[in-house]
């Protein structure tokens, strides 16, 4: 149709204002393809997934994690930073990198929930253990995911702290429960209306609690040392104190509290 259309001018450069002819009539449009292009590469996604632990990684740590050469990692980081998905901070000879913000993290989680599944071979016993631990309990940027996260959400729902109507919401009882735990500030006066979001868990294909309440709960659990986050991974470990607390406050069953008891990836 359009004779100007050479083959495959799909994304590439910003097209360079030509001749200055009709430059007055332009419109801005969100370039979804450009954003998706950033995430259309397994290595870049692996980097983003690593950063979903909410932490700050160096370039070489990410290169090793993603199993690519440092030079390749540099290229990917350049793209992700200039695309606005990652924030960087250079100190000395190190390049520190983290997710740009909660929006980014949430978008990644949403995509992970909608994405098709893929079979991935497990090579070593160490990797199998790592998988098992991830499956049991991990961070999801600022809240708790994995079997533990789902169990918490389920228990809170059963006990009437959360209610399901057109999405999950915090009930008045739930607000009181949070206050009793000593989580007041995050939840404003009209507590029953506080922001509750859910997030589709990619290991269990079940929804778990996120949003402001999920974040507050996670922070609280870490502060009280109910949970300990392993450095440089997203793995959470439940402490003895944590087991006591989760049994006490939510009557969580042992399956949710011990990683070894977590059943192997139930496929729906």
Partner DNA sequence: ATCACACTTCGGTGAGCACCGAATCGTCCG
Partner DNA sequence: CGGACGATTCGGTGCTCACCGAAGTGTGAT
Q: Where in 146-205 is the site for its own copies (CB under 8 A)? A: 163, 165-167, 169, 171, 188, 190, 192-195, 197, 202
**Among its own copies, DNA, none, what does residue 60 contact (CB within 5–8 Å per kind)?**
DNA
The stretch near its own copies (CB under 8 A) out of 98-106, 138-146, 221-229, 248-256 is: 98-106
Query: What is the C-alpha to C-alpha distance for residues 201 and 5, in angstroms, rounded to an integer?
Result: 43
Binds its own copies (CB under 8 A): choice among 56, 58, 74, 107: 107
Residue 2 found at the interface with its own copies (CB under 8 A): yes
Query: Cα–Cα distance between 108 and 49 in angstroms, integer?
Result: 8
- What is the total count of residues that contact its own copies (CB under 8 A)? 73
Q: Measured from the CB atom, is 38 or 155 closer to DNA? A: 38
C-beta of 116 vs 263, nearer to DNA = 116
Q: How far is the CB of 125 from DNA (least distance, A)?
A: 24
The answer to whether 16 contacts its own copies (rule: CB under 8 A) is no
* 242 Cα distance to chain centroid: 22
Are 146 and 247 within 8 A, CB to CB? no
Comparing CB distances to DNA, the nearer of 9 and 237 is 9
Whose structure tokens read 């009437």? 160
Count other C-beta atoms under 10 Å from residue 31's C-beta: 10
242 contacts 225 by C-beta, under 8 angstroms: yes
Residue 146: which of 51, 81, 54, 210 has the closest Cα? 210
């Amino acid at each position: 149709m359009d004779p100007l259309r050479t083959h495959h001018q799909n994304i590439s450069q910003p097209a360079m204002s030509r001749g200055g002819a009709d430059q007055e009539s332009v419109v801005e449009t969100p370039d979804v393809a450009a954003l998706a292009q950033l995430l259309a590469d397994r290595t870049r996604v692996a980097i983003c997934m690593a950063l979903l632990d909410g932490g700050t990684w160096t370039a070489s740590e990410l290169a090793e994690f993603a199993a690519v050469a440092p030079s390749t990692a540099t290229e990917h980081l350049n793209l992700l930073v200039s695309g606005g998905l990652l924030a960087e901070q250079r100190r000395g000879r190190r390049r520190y990198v983290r997710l740009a913000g909660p929006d980014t993290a949430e978008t990644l989680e949403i995509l992970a929930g909608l994405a098709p599944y893929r079979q991935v071979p497990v090579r070593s016993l160490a990797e199998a253990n790592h998988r098992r631990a991830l499956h049991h309990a991990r961070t999801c940027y600022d809240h708790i995911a994995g079997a533990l996260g789902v169990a918490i959400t389920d228990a809170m729902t059963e006990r009437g702290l959360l209610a399901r109507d057109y999405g999950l919401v915090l009930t008045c009882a739930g607000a009181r429960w949070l206050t009793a735990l000593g989580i007041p500030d995050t939840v404003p006066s009209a507590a029953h209306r506080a922001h509750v979001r859910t997030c589709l868990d990619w290991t269990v294909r079940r929804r778990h609690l996120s949003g402001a309440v999920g974040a507050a709960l996670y922070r609280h659990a870490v502060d009280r040392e109910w949970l300990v986050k392993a450095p440089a991974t997203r793995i959470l470990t439940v402490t003895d104190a944590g087991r006591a607390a989760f049994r006490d406050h939510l009557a969580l069953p042992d399956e949710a509290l011990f990683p070894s008891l977590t059943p192997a990836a139930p496929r729906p």
